[in-house]
Amino acid sequence: MSKIEELINKFCPDGVEFKTINVLCKSLAKGTLKTTELLQGGDYPVINAGRELYGFYDSYNNDSEAFTFSSRGEYAGFVNYFNFKFWAGGLCYPYASKSENNILTKFIYYFLKSNENYIMQTLVAQGSIPALNKNDVEKIKIPVPPIEIQREIVKILDNFTELTAELTAELTAELTARKQQYEFYKENILYAEGTRVNIDNVCDSTKNIRWKETNGVFKYIDLTSVDRFNHSVNIENYIDKTNAPSRAQQIVKTNDILFATTRPTLQRYCLIEDCLDNQICSTGFCILRPNTNKILPLYLYFIISSNKFLNYVSDNQKGTSYPSISDFKVKNFKFILPSLTKQKEIVEQLDKFSKLCEDISEGLPAEIEARKRQYEYYRDKLLTFKEKVC
């Protein structure tokens, strides 16, 4: 910051001029493309109304540095930057500086990103389809500090952006490596030695667990209640006999393992905790009730989460538009069953490894968000100028 402050004190101690986009920028070419015209192997990116690319095309209508505003839809007002050939679609406003010797296109982009929330919340007309008016865009005022200051700010923000991207890539790679290591270790340790059995051989019968209660309110676990990624249960539905859907027919017990047999490759499975004992679940789940004289509940849970089991499910599901697998097929899966003592040892090892991966999974978004806030703080600080009074 000290170098920026020195430059400000040297070149503009009394503030800087602010000028509108229509004065500083030229409007660039754009053209409507239908989704059917996009090409999977196109050479040039297409930007339209979204935050992400619309697709690719075999031609371009802009070949220089530019920034764009999304003009319609959910992300109206979102600002993108390009420094390569691209196609600007009909639902964006593309611009570039009229003179890079006066004001840098990328400096304008950074300033607009700093004020993006204001643009999206204040200038976008909210209706059935949010829209940003071009006249309002062109009235946005941009500070015009001396070019030396602009270059230094752009340099700092470019470096910060690059460092943040590198850190994110490193953290993501670390998480991926740990998960792969965990999965490899789990597959090897679960299928190493012991007697080969079916799941049904180690579970108690769940044939007579239909809901017969007539009084009280119960937590209801439907398919959407189970998180597909951390396999926790989030209850939003409570039922009694008067409002119970026809699928709410199974009573669950502590240490039951639920596996969703409807669209099974979505991997909706969970272990029932004490707080869900004697509650109700959908018939869309296969309930596995471990016989604790034969198998530890957590050991069976790790079997259900293994790649071997999930590949077996994928191979044995039926149907195309809405695939499913029968409870019989789930319970017919064969795996290696070691002694209870060995199971306890394996569970302890896998549980420690699993928690390590979870810690990284939770820490990664938090670290990225902290870097993002840090970046935005310094960006906003760098791009805050006093307006010169003429």
- Closest by Cα among 266, 212, 204, 276 to 244: 212
- Closest by Cα among 339, 273, 332 to 301: 273
**Rounded to whole angstroms, how far apart are CA atoms 379 and 100?**
21
Q: Give the pLDDT of residue 173.
A: 79
**One-letter amino acid of 293:** N
Question: Could you report the per-residue pLDDT of 198-251, keeping only the tens digit for each?
Answer: 999 999 988 767 777 667 888 999 988 999 888 989 887 888 877 777 787 788
The two three-digit tokens of residue 39, written as one number: 């090409």
More confident residue, 252 or 187: 252
**Rounded to whole angstroms, how far apart are CA atoms 49 and 132?**
11
Q: Is the distance from CB of 74 to CB of 117 less than 8 angstroms?
A: no
More confident residue, 363 or 63: 63
What is the mean predicted confidence (pLDDT) over 380-390? 77
| Domains of the chain, each with CATH number or no CATH | 1-10+147-180+338-390 (no CATH), 17-144 (3.90.220.20), 195-337 (3.90.220.20)
Question: Which helix (H) or strand (E) is 271 found in, with range?
Answer: strand 269-271
Q: Are strands 44-47 and 87-88 parallel, antiparallel or unpaired?
A: parallel
More confident residue, 243 or 284: 284
Question: Could you report the per-residue pLDDT of 64-123, keeping only the tens digit for each?
Answer: 899 999 999 989 999 999 999 999 999 999 999 999 999 999 999 999 999 999 999 999
The two three-digit tokens of residue 373, written as one number: 């806030």
The two three-digit tokens of residue 194, written as one number: 């012991």
**Rounded to whole angstroms, how far apart are CA atoms 337 and 339?**
7
**One-letter amino acid of 245:** P
pLDDT confidence tier of residue 346, bands split at 50, 70 and 90: confident
